[in-house]
Amino acid sequence: MTKNIKVNAAILIIGNEILSGRTQDTNTSTIALWLNSIGVQVQEVRVIPDIEKTIIDTVNMLRKANDYVFTTGGIGPTHDDITAESISKAFDLNYEIHKEAFKILEAYYKPGEFNEGRQTMAWMPKDAKLILNPTSGAPGFSIENVFCLPGVPSILKSMLGGLKNAIVGGKPILSHTISLRTVESEIASSLTLVQNNNKEVEIGSYPFFQAGKLGVSIVIRSEDQSKIDTCSSQILNFVNQKKIEVVNRD
Amino acid sequence: MTKNIKVNAAILIIGNEILSGRTQDTNTSTIALWLNSIGVQVQEVRVIPDIEKTIIDTVNMLRKANDYVFTTGGIGPTHDDITAESISKAFDLNYEIHKEAFKILEAYYKPGEFNEGRQTMAWMPKDAKLILNPTSGAPGFSIENVFCLPGVPSILKSMLGGLKNAIVGGKPILSHTISLRTVESEIASSLTLVQNNNKEVEIGSYPFFQAGKLGVSIVIRSEDQSKIDTCSSQILNFVNQKKIEVVNRD
């Protein structure tokens, strides 16, 4: 299913471990790349601590301002896992045992191992829809346009595929990257001209250091391949004139 | 200089390349770890696109709600580098050539190479304080409690040392990590008890997969080492009783 309008999303990373700098978030990139491929553009990411009021207020703000909200983290069995209860409060829904989630978890663990800690993972907002977890049993859930996923990157990644039918995207956002052996200030004015001539296309310029050498990646993004191609040839035009080496195109 | 009160900060990542998922942000972790070491706690991170109004509104909100704000990205020479002008508007200050920054850049480049593109990097909010850049010449800047740094991780990292005297932190936030060969649900109830007995200490529980094996890292954070030690021994107590292997402590 595709719509010809822009569809946007926010990502909400819930977790003190990211704010402390101890853990490097990688879920933003995973979710954003996947959303792009189904025509949803991420317009905002927030990282917030495991504080109930902060979670409630932020979710309520983001779900009104975006077509979709994806949260990560805080749905495990320990005391700092407060996402499900906070989301229940944000939507003013009962926080209760989800029968289907309970059955899935009960079947996942060996008899006698489905202890109290594990049972807490079956508590969700009333009438939540489950997001199945092929890696480690415990499901995520969604309520209206808010999708709650776990924080462990490999588990989160394994759950995205099952979500595809729940998301109605626009046209996929296409991109083309031209990597040059140059510095930004050598191409800045030429690139500005190309951007001004192609206002509907998003052109980004990103310096990089690779194997001790400087370079610039120019990223052209649009929903329309022909507009990307036009931009691309205008860029390669000034690149050739300036005798700048093209390192890579993809 | 230290204060005995909590000092907090927000990090604002400005850049479409992070929202598209193309580039993995690593600056959050770099800045957060450095701030922790000087007694500043990051309470919020936002990633926003290169849109002037969004930058202005977000900076104005964050600078009022936090002791410090650190922005990354958008201070290079290309058309998508709009941070300096947006910050000028946020503070209602003229956007103009900063004489000292101009001199630094002029001296950095070879004669004749200080072109128009490069000169744009000397444009800043009026009376900005410079943040020196030992890696690539172009300085960052600060206005009141807002510090604007570049997006390239290696350059950003090299500039933090020079900022230390500009930041007045509280007590450094100390932490101790106990990594266990277990799963969260085995320790959830015992850990809840320890958290309830030590309410002033922040205890986080983070599952991990390493070399194909499951584990849980328990992270204890406080400004007070003796409180961390108390928590730590209470945790090791139940860990021993449950005959759980301690993989690592640091």
**Domain CATH code at residue B18:** 3.40.980.10
Q: Chain B closest CA to A236's CA: distance in Å?
A: 17
Query: What confidence score (pLDDT) does residue B3 get?
Result: 41
Distance CA B41, CA B34 (A): 10
The answer to whether residues B46 and B137 belong to one domain is: yes
Asked whether residue B56 is domain-assigned, the answer is: yes
pLDDT per residue as tens digits for the range B179-215: 999 999 899 999 999 999 999 999 999 988 877 788 9
Query: What confidence score (pLDDT) does residue A115 get?
Result: 86
Q: Is the pLDDT of residue A4 over 60?
A: no
Percent residues over pLDDT 90 in chain A: 82
The answer to whether residues B238 and B213 belong to one domain is: yes
Chain A's closest residue to B17, CA to CA, is: A204
Asked whether residue B2 is domain-assigned, the answer is: no
The answer to whether residues B137 and B225 belong to one domain is: no
Residue B198's beta-bridge partner residues? none
Q: Is the pLDDT of residue A11 over 80?
A: yes
Asked whether residue A1 is domain-assigned, the answer is: no
Query: What confidence score (pLDDT) does residue B208 get?
Result: 85
Where residue B247 falls among pLDDT bands split at 50, 70, 90?
Answer: very high
Contact of B229 with B240, CB cutoff 8 Å: no
The answer to whether residues B178 and B162 belong to one domain is: no
Which residue, of B140, B166, B192, is where some domain finishes? B166
Q: Which has more confidence, B213 or A74?
A: A74
pLDDT per residue as tens digits for the range B22-56: 999 999 999 999 999 899 999 999 999 999 999 99
The answer to whether residues A100 and A184 belong to one domain is: no
The answer to whether residues B95 and B21 belong to one domain is: yes
Query: What confidence score (pLDDT) does residue A187 get?
Result: 93
pLDDT per residue as tens digits for the range B98-155: 999 999 999 999 888 888 888 999 999 999 999 999 988 899 999 999 999 999 999 9
- Give how many domains chain A has, as a whole number: 2
List the single residue in B16, B121, B221 with the smallest CB-CB distance to A202. B16
Which residue, of B100, B132, B166, is where some domain finishes? B166
Chain B's closest residue to A51, CA to CA, is: B43
**Considering the entire predicted model, what is its pTM?**
0.92
Q: Is the pLDDT of residue A194 over 90?
A: yes
Which residue, of A113, A136, A166, is where some domain finishes? A166
The answer to whether residues B48 and B154 belong to one domain is: yes
List CB contacts (< 8 A) between B33 and chain A.
20-22
Contact of B206 with B216, CB cutoff 8 Å: yes
The answer to whether residues A162 and A183 belong to one domain is: no
Where residue A43 falls among pLDDT bands split at 50, 70, 90?
Answer: very high
Where residue A2 falls among pLDDT bands split at 50, 70, 90?
Answer: very low
CATH of the domain at A207: 3.30.70.600
Distance CA A114, CA A100 (A): 15
Q: Is the pLDDT of residue A122 over 60?
A: yes
pLDDT per residue as tens digits for the range B142-156: 999 999 999 999 999
List the single residue in A26, A78, A208 with the smallest CB-CB distance to B205. A78
List CB contacts (< 8 A) between B41 and chain A.
19
Q: Chain B closest CA to A183's CA: distance in Å?
A: 10
The answer to whether residues A39 and A112 belong to one domain is: yes
Q: Is the pLDDT of residue A195 over 70?
A: yes
The answer to whether residues A179 and A160 belong to one domain is: no
Indicate the SS3 state at residue A143.
strand
Query: What confidence score (pLDDT) does residue A5 get?
Result: 67
Domain that holds residue B181: 174-249
The answer to whether residues A120 and A207 belong to one domain is: no
